[in-house]
Amino acid sequence: MSETSYRPTSGRAIILGIIAFIILLSIFCGLSEVLKTVGSPFLLIPQQLNIIPKVTRADVMEFEMRQSPVEVQLERTGEYAVYTKDIDLLIITDQILEAQGNPWFNLIDQSTGEKLDVKFVKRGLIPFDSSLVKGRPVYIFDITHPGNYQFSFPRRYATIYVLPDNIVGNESTVFVFVVIQLVILAFPISYFIRKLIHKRQEKLSEIRNLKKTNDSQFWEELKKQKERQNGKPNSNVGNKKY
């Protein structure tokens, strides 16, 4: 008599599958972009509660550094961030920061001719940086009133992105909300995993019990299980001949 081994999906297999998917996605898309994609859903609740500003793709401005200076009209007040994914530019920025030099990104208010203050972002990439653009923030600046402004930067074959910032300076607040959301998510996930483990243990117990029976008892027990699954009453179990 041959026995069919039943192996239900375990919680460990599901978790390993998710990890494998993230690793494959990292290989094809880049680890930094995967981290930001994973972290972006955790920003939805703080944005809906107006704890951090909402930023959409329509707010993103993209500039080719081959063209400098450029004139832009900024209607939104508040802090803006400058992002780049160019490796050389990121290294240069870090070196300038270590040497306490001046930012390579300059900003002028055209209504007054005043040069505005541009600050370094003194950290690396975190999962909650904007997933709307590639790379990480290198500079931030504050716009106090709408108007026309001039951006200037060294000319090179690279791309920078300027968008309203909702993370720099709010990292602690974001991390608190992330922890709260993770705790909330842990309950249904743990319940689902426990349910899978319990189901697996029940199936294994049934298989062990079947192994302990003799040949006639095996077929009788098997028929009972089929009837239970089909919702039919158990009648005339011993009348059938095999």
pLDDT for res 240: 47
pLDDT for res 86: 92
Which residues make beta-bridge pairs with 71? 150
Q: What whole-number distance in Å separates Cα of residue 87 and Cα of residue 136? A: 11
H/E run at residue 72: strand 70-74
Sites in the chain below the pLDDT cut of 70: 1-16, 18-32, 39, 206-219, 221, 229, 231-242
Fold of 53-167: Jelly Rolls (2.60.120)
pLDDT for res 198: 73
Q: What whole-number distance in Å separates Cα of residue 108 and Cα of residue 113? A: 6
pLDDT for res 233: 53
pTM of the model: 0.63
pLDDT for res 74: 94
pLDDT for res 152: 95
Domains of the chain, by residue range, sit at 8-51+170-213, 53-167
Q: Is 83 helix (H, G, I), strand (E, B) or coil?
A: strand
pLDDT for res 55: 86
